[in-house]
Structure 1
Amino acid sequence: MPVYQESIKVLESLFARDSFFAFATSKDNVPSVRIVDAFYDDYCFYIVVSGRTQKIREIALNENVALCHEMYRFTGKAYNIGHPLQPENQEIRSKLIKVFEPWYFAHNNEDSNEMYYIKVELVTGFFHKDGTGYRVDFINKSAESMPFEFGE
């Protein structure tokens, strides 16, 4: 199997679930970082947010973002894809409700016009599993693998 396809399978196995990440945005070249729940699906991460948050305002000004968890790191382009009940969000909404089921409705009010989904289209990434590291260029659909051990 080519390395790129292998890396995508590994990425799915690691993050096609509720995952905690540090999510970095910026305004006026000043970074801002916070912890978010994210879900990986089809070359993108998805985050549920309130429209009153700083992150939603910052990605409107600058789409370049980063996600990091331990030795996993990604860069991407973030977009506000709108309210969960918009027809075009129906498919991702059903996935997010399922993966975030323990807390989705307890922490999100879909009756509010201030609820949105952020979609992060991946640009680059580094992640590892079972002694192999993957450096991925999602734009050019290329990847390299290398021995990698995450130690203490």
Structure 2
Amino acid sequence: MGRFEEGLKIIEERCGNGKDNVISLATIALEPNEDGKHRPFVREVDAMYEDGVFYITTYATSLKMQQIEKNPEVAFAVGGEWFSGNGIGENLGWIKDPKNATLREKLRKTFAPWYDMANNEEDKNLVILAVRITNATVIKDHHAVRYDMDFVNKTEGMDRRFR
């Protein structure tokens, strides 16, 4: 098993198998600040991890979705799991769209304790946000082992500019 596969195994153990993960999700502001720079925005969201993608239920009209529509590059950190990185956000559309049926059932199961209270599936603005990981860092044994993972090329050992 190569280092990329070792890192994937750790991610799956920590975040996969239908676990409800609280992740910090960062996007970029729509408007620049007084200095003309675009500020980052970060918020915690519940996310299900599967095969290099985090899936999140959210509303299409939310600020994060407006920001992702303008700039789909995002950053994330998984609370308490020593796993963070970058990805591309994609709106997969209405939760009840037939193409989302299998994913919808997985999300309902993962988020079962609070799903119906927080989501109105009849509202066509309730969508699935996919965060497709492009690169990530996974830490093991209190920094004794570090995996710098390139999800695009499926390799371990990223370009230094991502560190």
C-alpha distance in structure 2 between counterparts of 1:94 and 1:129, whole Å:
32
Is 1:122 equivalent to 2:124 in the alignment?
Answer: no
Per the alignment, residue 62 of structure 2 pairs with 53
In structure 1, stretches of 5+ residues that fail to align are: 145-152
Cα shift at 1:98: 1.0
C-alpha distance in structure 2 between counterparts of 1:105 and 1:79, whole Å:
23
- TM-score for both structures, normalised by structure 1: 0.88
C-alpha distance in structure 2 between counterparts of 1:15 and 1:129, whole Å:
14
| Letter aligned with residue 8 of structure 1 | L
In structure 2, stretches of 5+ residues that fail to align are: 32-37, 158-163
SS of 2:88 mapped into structure 1: strand
Cα shift at 1:51: 2.1
Name whichever structure is richer in strand by fraction.
1
Is 1:104 equivalent to 2:106 in the alignment?
Answer: no
1:142 is aligned, of 155, 158, 162, to: 155
Structure 1 runs of 4+ aligned residues shifted over 4 Å read none
SS of 1:110 mapped into structure 2: coil
C-alpha distance in structure 2 between counterparts of 1:19 and 1:62, whole Å:
24
Cα shift at 1:10: 1.1
C-alpha distance in structure 1 between counterparts of 2:147 and 2:109, whole Å:
28
Alignment of 1:11-90 (within 5 A): 11-16=11-16, 17-26=19-28, 27-28=30-31, 29-68=38-77, 69-70=79-80, 71-90=82-101
C-alpha distance in structure 2 between counterparts of 1:36 and 1:133, whole Å:
25
Among all aligned residue pairs of Structure 1 and Structure 2, give the percentage whose two residues are the same amino acid: 33
Task: Give the alignment's Cα RMSD to 1 decimal.
Answer: 1.4
What are the superposed Cα offsets for residues 12-48 of structure 1, whole Å, 9 maximum, x if unpaired?
1111211111110112432111111111111111111
- TM-score for both structures, normalised by structure 2: 0.82
